[in-house]
Structure 1
Amino acid sequence: MIDDPAFWLPQDGSLIGVLVGAIILYFYTVVLVRLLGKRATAKMNNFDWLIAVATGSLLASGILVPDISIGAAVLGMATLGVCQYAVTKFFAKTDVADDAFKAEPRLLLHKGVWLDEAMVASRITRQEVLSRLRSEGLTSVNDVNWVVIEPDGQLSVIERSELELGQADTMDGVVYDPETLVQKERWPKR
């Protein structure tokens, strides 16, 4: 199989089609991203990620799959781009569909205390949070005010300070159960 030259180079001249398709679709993608703005490549929420993956799939299909024309790939990518633009524009102007389409940030760790119910609801393990803390150069959960799972699935780490949740502007909109925080408050003194 590996010894067969057709394994490495197709005999039907399709490599030229791949080369031309790749060049055309590359430049088209660059133009599309420039037209749609920085949001086209951002992963601010799950829908941004979905659009990026789907666009990449269409790009690859247009280059490598002979049954999919470059025009079909261009049309598919343009349609996804227009849909993302329209949806994000709509979200920016109204809160009507926010709850239905966007995930909310959720508090997972509060001043050294694990919020187990929030972690189960978010399907995040302690080991995943600890991994994130290590990547931030932190050595203990007691070095952290809060860990939040963001709408895009990333974990944000806010280092230890004397601020309360209500005093931190960046914590507005973060979902947490105030009763749980009162019951579990135990931040060790340094």
Structure 2
Amino acid sequence: MDPIFFDGGAALWRVALSSVLAYIGLVAMLRVSGRRTLSKMNAFDLVVTVALGSILASIVLSRDVTLAQGGLALALLIGMQYLVTWSSVRLPWVRRLVTGEPALLLHRGELLPRALRVARVTPAEIRAAVRSAGLASLDEVEAVVLETDGELSVVGRVEGDEASSLADVTRPGRRADRARRAP
């Protein structure tokens, strides 16, 4: 019969020692890999973070995974994440593949129903984001953008046609390369 509450002192010492060593190794690897490894998360970053947690749990709790095997798994995952982020900075197609593109949901005070449907965002959520930005009316808003990390950005109305912060935002029915001209 498997013990439920206590499996002996040796098992506890193994968990304690592997927890401390795995934690130190993970923190060291994350420091070496740079700030981007745990930056504000998009879907790709979330997957990496969950996978790191899963590997750490396996190292700590599984008797079948040695500290060396777990350390190698952590190092490989962090290395692959570093390679992908390094590539995404240099190759636009990798960036689009990994992080997606921001999407325009409201433009010059007008909700974009097709974009809202595709993004699965309600008009009420747009109004809440506008209120959070301290604006009282949608007419005061140049744009609301669904960022690649899931956050809604509100850009206040600008004079003329210059909205350079919207250069990389995809408008419904347009590709990002055509949308580089201010929307």
TM-score category, normalised to shorter length: 0.7 to 0.9
Query: For 2:40, what is the secondary structure of its paired residue?
Result: coil
Query: For 1:17, what is the secondary structure of its paired residue?
Result: helix
Query: Which deviates the most, 124-133 or 58-67?
Result: 124-133
Change (3 A) 1:143 1:60: farther
Would you say how many aligned residue pairs link Structure 1 and Structure 2? 171
Change (3 A) 1:36 1:163: farther
Answer yes or no: is 1:18 the counterpart of 2:28.
Answer: no
After superposition, residues 21-32 of structure 1 pair within 5 angstroms as 21-32=18-29
Residues of 1 paired with 2:135 and 2:114: CA distance?
24
Change (3 A) 1:74 1:162: same
Question: Contact conserved, 1:43 with 1:49, CA < 8 A, in 2?
Answer: no
Match of 1:133 in 2: 130
Residues of 1 paired with 2:125 and 2:58: CA distance?
34
Match of 2:179 in 1: none
Q: State percent identity of aligned pairs.
A: 35
Match of 1:3 in 2: none
Deviation at 1:132, TM superposition (A): 3.1
- Letter of the 2:83 partner, please give it: A
Match of 2:167 in 1: 172
Out of 48, 51, 54, the position equivalent to 2:51 is 54
- Letter of the 1:82 partner, please give it: G
Out of 155, 158, 163, the position equivalent to 2:155 is 158
Change (3 A) 1:16 1:116: same
Deviation at 1:58, TM superposition (A): 1.0
TM-score (structure 1 length as normaliser): 0.77
Residues of 2 paired with 1:16 and 1:142: CA distance?
63
Deviation at 1:77, TM superposition (A): 1.1
Please list the CA deviations of residues 13-54 of structure 1 after superposition, one character each: whole Å capped at 9, or x if unmatched. Answer: 222222111111111111111110000111353212211111
After superposition, residues 76-155 of structure 1 pair within 5 angstroms as 76-155=73-152
Residues of 2 paired with 1:79 and 1:136: CA distance?
41
Change (3 A) 1:128 1:59: farther
Deviation at 1:171, TM superposition (A): 0.9
Residues of 1 paired with 2:13 and 2:160: CA distance?
62
Residues of 1 paired with 2:93 and 2:173: CA distance?
26
Query: For 1:97, what is the secondary structure of its paired residue?
Result: helix
Residues of 1 paired with 2:127 and 2:62: CA distance?
42
Query: For 2:92, what is the secondary structure of its paired residue?
Result: coil
Question: Contact conserved, 2:144 with 2:152, CA < 8 A, in 1?
Answer: yes
Structure 1 spans left out of the alignment, 5+ residues: 1-5, 180-190
Please list the CA deviations of residues 37-82 of structure 1 after superposition, one character each: whole Å capped at 9, or x if unmatched. Answer: 0001113532122111111111122112333322222111111111
Please list the CA deviations of residues 161-181 of structure 1 after superposition, one character each: whole Å capped at 9, or x if unmatched. Answer: 4353xx1221111011489xx
